[in-house]
Amino acid sequence: MQTNREYYDEFSERYDKGRDRGYHALIDEIEFSIIEPYARGQKVLELGCGTGLILEKVAAIAERAQGIDISPGMLARARARGLDVQEGDLLQLPFESESFDLVYSLKVLAHIEEIDRALEEARRVTKIGGTLALEFYNRESLRYVVKRLAGPRPISAAKDEADISTRWDRLDELRARLPGGLSLLRWRGVRVITPAAFAHDLPLIGPLLGDLERRLSAGPFARFGGFLILLLRREY
C-alpha cells in the first residue's frame, strides 16, 4: 500500500491537468452517466476517489456522497472541492456493514493486488439490495494492445506507470471471482474504439469518435471497452 500511496501522491500534482476537455473529459462523462441512475438520492461511497472529479458530480445528486483514498495528495485536492473524503485502505474500509446504497470505483481496482479482499470489503459496506459499480482494465481491448505497444507513460518527473502494479482482466475472469452474495446485472464498456487519447483533439474526428464511444458503451461491443464497469447487486 505504501508504494501505491507514494505513486498517487506524486500523480496528484498533475492529475487534474487537461481532464476538463478531450479524451479525459469524455471518459469521465461516460463513467458518470453509468453511475448517475444508481446514485441519485442515495447514500454513495467512492472507493479511490482521487481528486474528486467524479465524486463532485455525484455529490450534487446524491443524498450523501463520501470518498476514500490512500493518497493525502489526492485527498487535499478533493477537500478543496468541498467533498466529504477521508484517508483509508480499500482492504479494510472504516465503515459499518451495509452503510451505502451505491459503492463505486473507477480506475483503481486494477491496481489493487489483493483484489478478492477489496471486492469482499466493497460488498460488505453495500446494503442488501444495493448496487456496486466496479471498473476494471480489460485485457480483451484495443486499449490493452496500445498500452503494451507504447509502454509505460510518465506520470511525473520521477515516476511512470511501471511504478505501480496493474492487472488486466477478462470479463469471464471477473465474473468467476465475484464474492458470494453479488449478482451481475450488466456490464458497460468505456473506450471501445479510441486508438489513442490525442484522437479526440482532432477536428471533425474527435467529436465523431466521442459520439461513437457514447453509443458503444452499451450493447454487444461494450465487452471490448478498455475499461469494463460491472454493475452488481448485493443479494445477501
Instruction: Quote the CA–CA distance of 221 and 114 in Å, as a whole number.
Output: 29
DSSP 82: T
C-alpha cell at 121: 470489503
pLDDT, residue 158, reads: 87
User: Mean of the pLDDT values across residues 163-191?
Assistant: 97
Question: pLDDT tens digits, residue range 86-129?
Answer: 999 999 999 999 999 999 999 999 999 999 999 999 999 999 99
Which phi and psi (to 5°) does residue 44 adopt? -125, 145
CB atoms within 10 A of CB 16: 15
Cβ contact 135:105 at 8 Å: yes
Q: Would you state the cell numbers that stand for residue 87, as one nine-digit string?
A: 484517508
Q: Is pLDDT larger for residue 157 or for residue 226?
A: 226
Mean pLDDT to the nearest integer, 36-60: 98
The pLDDT of residue 1 is 62
Q: For residue 45, is pLDDT > 90?
A: yes
**Confidence band for 157, pLDDT divided at 50, 70 and 90:** confident
* Average pLDDT score over residue span 175-199: 97
Distance in angstroms (rounded) separating the CA atoms of residues 210 and 22? 9
pLDDT of residue 141: 98
> In the chain, how long is the greatest CA-to-CA distance?
50
Cα four-point dihedral sign 187, 192, 196, 197: negative
User: What is the spatial distance between Cα 65 and Cα 43, in angstroms, rounded to a whole number?
Assistant: 6
Position 33 scores a pLDDT of: 98
Residue 227 CA, distance from chain mean position: 8
Instruction: For the chain, give the mean pLDDT.
Output: 96
Provide the residue range defining the domain that includes 209: 2-234
| Residue-wise pLDDT tens digits, 200-209 | 999 999 999 9
Task: Quote the pLDDT of residue 3.
Answer: 82
The structural domain count of the chain equals 1
Q: Looking at residue 48, which CATH number applies to its domain? A: 3.40.50.150
Q: Mean per-residue pLDDT for 195-202? A: 96
Judged by average pLDDT, the poorest of 9-18, 42-51, 127-136 is 9-18
Q: What percent of the chain has pLDDT over 90?
A: 97
Residue 36 has pLDDT above 70, yes or no: yes
Percent of the chain with pLDDT over 70: 99
